[in-house]
Amino acid sequence: MEGLQQEAWALLRAARFGVLSTLSVRVAGYPFGSVMPFALEESSGGLIVLMSGLAEHTKNALTDPRASLLVLEDGKPDADPQEAARLTVVGNLERAAATAVDHARAVYLARHPQAQRNLELADFSFWMLRPLHARFIAGFGRMGWLDAATLLP
Amino acid sequence: MEGLQQEAWALLRAARFGVLSTLSVRVAGYPFGSVMPFALEESSGGLIVLMSGLAEHTKNALTDPRASLLVLEDGKPDADPQEAARLTVVGNLERAAATAVDHARAVYLARHPQAQRNLELADFSFWMLRPLHARFIAGFGRMGWLDAATLLP
């Protein structure tokens, strides 16, 4: 599994966007997908996201922290996405504590400088998806589950 | 909302891939995202998918039919996906009944001819995501919920 772990980590470092799945409040209990930029916090393996209080996924996360983020290999925009490597990180979404906001902002803005404009709007806040497990599909017949500890390099 | 409905429908007709969210069996109750080709069944608004019995999402759907499919506007591969139109169709995944398989196969293969090779493998089956509600984000400040009836043209 070591090769898979290294490839999964490289994918998390390279990607800037994913699809977040949360548990819907509006359509009770149904899983709900939404587009989500993220930044990897490399020391913990946490995925930092910036969420609007108006967004469905934020309402969902405030009610139930269970979530996953699907990350696709970049740079193959016209390819069949079923042939790209992809990783689903499953974990809990936690709002950044007051003491962690400065660090989250720095890591996030280094990856998404244009997000500065959102920080100037009311009602955006930093959250972190803390991985529990991850499902990695590296390619045909090369796949497996990784747990949070083995995901870290 | 009529303009939004028309745009949402056009998006479903144009797209070939989405991200399916299901409820994980392996990581109990967590929402789980995976890449999913689909084909729109235009008379019902149902989304036909072809799923492998080995895949996580299939194990999930067999246990709980609640799901959503996030569909992104095509043709903007290098753009910020937060600036693309996107639609999250929330509904139930149902395995195609024996009497519906021929129709599902025809609609699906018209959209994904290369999937013929999967049909020759054991353990692939057709399912349909039957929409209940859909969340459409057409662009900045232009968004709303549609129910299944208003999604159809």
Q: Are A73 and A12 in contact (CB under 8 A)?
A: no
Gap from A45 CA to chain B (nearest CA, Å):
18
Dist CA B70 CA B53 (whole Å): 22
Confidence of residue B73 (pLDDT cuts 50, 70, 90): confident
Confidence of residue B150 (pLDDT cuts 50, 70, 90): confident
Q: Which two tokens stand for residue A112?
A: 């998404």
- For residues B11 and A153, the model is more confident at B11
| Element holding B35 (H helix, E strand) | strand B31-37
Domain boundaries, chain A: 2-151
| Element holding B107 (H helix, E strand) | helix B101-111
Residue B141 buriedness (CB in 10 A; 0-12 / 13-18 / 19+): exposed
Do the chains contact at B33 and A68, CB–CB below 8 Å? yes
pLDDT in tens, chain A (153 residues): 568 999 999 999 999 999 999 999 999 999 999 999 999 999 999 999 999 999 999 999 999 999 999 999 864 445 677 778 999 999 999 999 999 999 999 999 999 999 998 888 879 999 999 999 999 999 878 999 999 988 888
Confidence of residue B9 (pLDDT cuts 50, 70, 90): very high
Q: What is the pLDDT of residue A118?
A: 87
Dist CA B69 CA A70 (whole Å): 13
Gap from B153 CA to chain A (nearest CA, Å):
22
Q: Spell out which chain B residues touch chain A, with contact meaning CB-CB distance below 8 angstroms.
A: 17, 19-24, 26-27, 29-35, 37, 56, 66-70, 72, 77-78, 80-82, 84, 86, 88, 90-91, 114, 132-133, 135, 145
Q: Give the mean pLDDT of chain B.
A: 92
Do the chains contact at A90 and B27, CB–CB below 8 Å? yes
| Element holding B46 (H helix, E strand) | strand B46-52
Q: What is the pLDDT of residue B141?
A: 81
Backbone angles phi, psi at A75, to 5 degrees: 80, 10
| Span B2-151 CATH architecture | Roll (2.30)
In this structure, how many other beta carbons lie within 10 angstroms of the beta carbon of residue B101? Answer: 13
Share of chain B above pLDDT 90, in %: 78
Using left for φ > 0, alpha for ψ between -120 and 50, and beta otherwise, residue A94 falls in beta
Residue type, A91: G
B-chain residues within 8 Å CB-CB of A77? Answer: 77-78
In this structure, how many other beta carbons lie within 10 angstroms of the beta carbon of residue B40? Answer: 21
Q: What is the pLDDT of residue B77?
A: 47
Dump pLDDT digits (tens) for B88-138: 999 999 999 999 999 999 999 999 999 998 888 879 999 999 999 999 999
Statement: residue B39 has pLDDT above 80: yes
Q: What is the pLDDT of residue A78?
A: 54
From first CA to last CA, the distance across chain B in angstroms is 12
Residue A43: which residues within 8 A CB-CB, separation 6 or more?
none
